[in-house]
Amino acid sequence: MKKLQLGLRCSVVIALTAFFATPPLQAQAVPAEAPAVLNVGDAVRVTVWRNPDLSGEFVVGESGTLTHPLYRDLAVAGVPVSRLDTDFATLLRRFDTTPEFVVEPLFRIPVTGQVRQPNVYNVPSYMTVAQAVMLAGGTVEQARADRVRLIRNGTEYLVDLTNSEAPSYNLRVRSGDQLVVDRRRGGVGFWDVISMVGTLASVANLVRYLR
């Protein structure tokens, strides 16, 4: 749990550094489509037909399993999300020979900068960068929608949300990604302060929840 809290605090530092830093003029090439895997801190939403005790949204704990007594034997961290249906079916057959269920992996993604509702969101694996920004309320007037920074594995990429033909427009988010919408030049404004406060508050609440 301490490692998870430390990871969240590190995410805050990285997000705030990216928020105030002057973005580089040269963007990295669009990253190749990364495999979708779950990591510690992500979640899985499970819906089992006529079995509410096995249904719910469960966090991936430090052990790499879900924080639910009946799912603790099922390793999900580092496992391709395409395998989850098969793995859950095997486990659920202990309780029902023909289980009917839906499994939805959720990635924990901070969306900060010039958006109306900066926060840390649990988003499905099929969500694109553009959809994640819309989930955060969309951009504010001071935003540069052509400069959305995607931070993945320590590397920054620029995503242009003003051009639906751009290679990065339909890029899907992955576990560990961070999104920062750049602001126009001209100093820190009202929405900058709101965004920073919202980011700090949302992550602080998550840290308190995990204690």
Angle between helices 2-20 and 190-210 (to 10 degrees): 170
* Measured distance CA(96)–CA(55) in Å, rounded: 14
The domain of 63 spans 1-211
In the chain, the number of structural domains is: 1
Which CATH number goes with the domain that contains 109? 3.30.1950.10
SS3 category, 157: strand
Chain centroid to Cα 69, Å, comes to: 25
Q: Give me the pLDDT at residue 33, please.
A: 76
Give this prediction's pTM: 0.74
Q: Give me the pLDDT at residue 22, please.
A: 45
pLDDT in tens, the chain (211 residues): 655 555 555 555 555 555 554 444 455 667 777 789 999 999 999 999 999 999 999 999 999 999 999 899 899 999 999 999 999 999 999 989 999 999 999 999 999 999 999 999 999 999 999 999 999 999 999 999 999 999 999 999 999 999 988 888 899 999 999 999 999 876 555 545 555 556 566 656 555 655 6
Q: Locate tokens 């809290």: which residue?
A: 5
